[in-house]
Amino acid sequence: MMHHRFLSPEGKSYAFDHRAAGYGRGEGAACIVIKPLDAALRDGDHIHSIIRQTAVNSDGKTDGITQPSAVAHERLIRYAYNKVDLDPLETDYIEAHGTGTQAGDPLELKAVGNVFGSTRNSEKPIYVGSVKTNVGHLEAASGLAGIIKASLALKKGIIPPNINFEKANEKIPLKLYNMQASLALAV
Name, in order, each residue with C-beta under 8 angstroms of 162's C-beta and a sequence gap of 6 or more.
Answer: 15, 16, 17, 98, 129, 130, 133, 181, 182, 183
Name, in order, each residue with C-beta under 8 angstroms of 103's C-beta and a sequence gap of 6 or more.
Answer: 4, 66, 67
How many angstroms separate the Cα of 159 from the Cα of each of 13, 21, 169?
18, 24, 21
Write down the pLDDT at residue 60.
76
pTM score, two decimals?
A: 0.88
8 found inside a domain: no
Give the three-state DSSP class for 154. Answer: helix
7 found inside a domain: no
Q: What is the number of structural domains in the chain? A: 1
Number of helical H runs and strand E runs in the chain: 5, 5
6 found inside a domain: no
18 found inside a domain: no
Q: Are 119 and 89 in contact (CB under 8 A)?
A: yes
DSSP secondary structure of 84-104: TT--GGG--EEE------TTH
Each residue's pLDDT expressed in tens, for the chain with a length of 187 residues:
344 557 888 888 889 999 998 888 999 999 999 999 999 999 999 999 999 999 999 887 888 777 789 999 999 999 999 999 999 999 999 999 998 988 899 999 999 999 999 888 888 999 999 999 999 999 999 999 999 999 999 989 988 888 888 889 999 999 999 998 876 444 4
The DSSP H or E segment spanning 151 is helix 142-156
137 found inside a domain: yes
**Among candidates 160, 150, 172, which has minimal Cα distance to 91?**
150
Calpha distance 184→141 (Å, rounded): 24
Could you tell me how many residues make up the chain?
Answer: 187
22 found inside a domain: no
Calpha distance 22→25 (Å, rounded): 10
Full domain range(s) for residue 176: 37-186
169 found inside a domain: yes
CATH code (residue 63): 3.40.47.10
